[in-house]
Structure 1
Amino acid sequence: MADLLGGRRGALDATLPPLAFAVGWLLGGESLWAGVGAALAVGAVVAGVRLRRGDRPRSVLIGLLAVCVAALIAVRTGKAENFFLIQLLSNAASALAWTVSIVVRWPLLGVVVGAALGQRARWRRDPALLRGYARGSWVWTATYLVRLAVFVPLYLGGQVLGLVVARVALTWPLVAAALAVSWVVLRRSLPAGHPGVRHPVTEGADAQPG
């Protein structure tokens, strides 16, 4: 999971453009254009570094596009806090997606881990794993809700620096906590003697567990 999410290096890459925006905004006397210019410049540098170290071009372009769209929204609205609007909306969408995945019995934690382990949907035929992944997915849902609980008041209050601090503080530290807690929840959800996530117990299980 840590590798799939980009690890600490990926989290650092994601926080550099917002930090640059805040620095440019402050040094420019709260100039929106200075902040946007700094964010775009740093975003371009980050994209170049990621390409040189072998990151997937598609992933790099998506990251750079997110910075460009955030800058465009801020410029078009004339509000510095709107640079963080995409972050707020993406967390809301993620919280909804993870919740829905649990309700429809396709918990995203299982989808991600199952794909990484090459299991496809075989893990769904193991009732214990399905239950464990659902419980673990609630941990990830909670991370997005925590971010929203922090981001929304800061956004509504126009607290640009507060949004930057929250963005940094609630990126890798929160992801690391979610990784640890969701793993503990998943392991404790499995019965004694279960071979673990790499070996779904499907013999005698229904194809679509109830």
Structure 2
Amino acid sequence: MAERKPSGNGTGFKALAAAGEGDDFSVIEAIGGVRGVVESMLPGVVFVVLFVITQNLDLTIGVSAVLALAQVAIRLLQRQSVTGALSGLVAVGICLIWAWKSHEARDYYMFGFLTNAAYAAVLAISLIARVPALGAIIEFIRQLPTEHFRAWFEDWTGDKALKKAYTIITWLWMALFLLRLAVQVPLYLTNHVAALGVTRLLMGIPFWALAIWVSYLIIATPLHRHKAAKAHAEQAAHGDSTIDTAQTAKDER
């Protein structure tokens, strides 16, 4: 199988960081491509289906673990990037170990609850501090502030339209994490494993894709304008510098 060419805009928040560069934004590529989506969803599908059919937790855990390892092995054999598969393997591994130690199938989903709660809390704190976390993440990816951190920070927070867009999508993502908890935790507490598994799948990649797409629609225009304004300012500053240098040389003559 030929290696899939990576998207020029990257995946996840890297794709959002490239918003405003053109009209080639792809939701599928932003969430990892078709293969990435399949690899992300397959362990969860196998876990819930196999457990519902067999009611054998040990078998379900074993098959799910083998599948997660196989995904990484296949990528290694094909000499493709294994970063996404490895991160997925770690997450699945934590979920499987949690379920195995508690002997409760529903505990496979506990790690997801904790991560969603943590993400929602971080986003809420950033909104209270008036520094939208999604803006900080996207701008950090877009232009790594290895130097002049204050200038980097003031550059994007000083653009009211851009900061407002980042604030809106930060609210959007926080609502996504809270909605997952509001729907799924009651299913966990009542031990409806099948319903929880299906709901988890539906509110996973599909919701992620929707959030990425809506976020792109919200920030693309203000981010494009911000980039254009900055480029124009830098060009003007460079022009003034050239004129000043030429004038200085003329005066010296």
TM category, shorter: 0.7 to 0.9
CA deviation string 1:98-157 (max 9, x = no partner):
222222233222123223432643322323212221112111111111111111011111
Flag the 1:114–1:83 CA change in 2: closer, same or farther, 3 A. Answer: same
Cα gap change, 1:109/1:15 in structure 2, threshold over 3 Å: closer, same or farther? same
Which blocks of at least 5 consecutive residues in structure 1 are unaligned? 204-210
> What is the deviation of 1:161?
1.2
Shift of 1:73: 1.1
Aligned twin of 2:188: 155
Q: 2:11 aligns with which of 3, 23, 30?
A: 3
- 1:94 is aligned to 2:102: no
Aligned counterpart, 1:20: 46
Q: Is residue 87 of structure 2 the alignment partner of residue 62 of structure 1?
A: yes
Query: Using a 3 Å threshold, how does the CA distance of structure 1 residues 125 and 25 change in structure 2: closer, same or farther?
Result: same
1:166 corresponds, among 184, 199, 202, to: 199
Higher relative contact order (CA 8 A, sep 6+): 2
Mapped partners of 1:54, 1:106: distance in 2: 37
Letter of the 1:3 partner, please give it. T
Number of the residue aligned with 2:225: 196
Match of 1:128 in 2: 161
CA distance in 2, matches of 1:36, 1:128: 48
Contact 2:134 2:170 in 1 (8 A): yes
SS in 2 for 1:105: coil
1:123, 1:129 within 8 Å by CA — same for their partners in 2?
yes
Aligned length: 197
CA contact under 8 A between 2:52 and 2:194: conserved in structure 1? no
Cα distance in 2, alignment partners of residues 50 and 197 from structure 1 = 39
1:72 CA drift (Å)? 1.2
Q: Deviation per CA, 1:57-98: give whole Å up to 9, x if none.
A: 4x4333212211211111111110001111111111111112
Change (3 A) 1:164 1:50: farther
TM-score by length of 1: 0.80
Rounded Cα–Cα distance in structure 2 between residues aligned with 1:101 and 1:55 = 33
Partner of residue 176, structure 2: 143
Larger radius of gyration: 2
Cα distance in 1 for residues equivalent to 2:183 and 2:215 = 21
Give the root-mean-square deviation of aligned CA atoms.
2.7
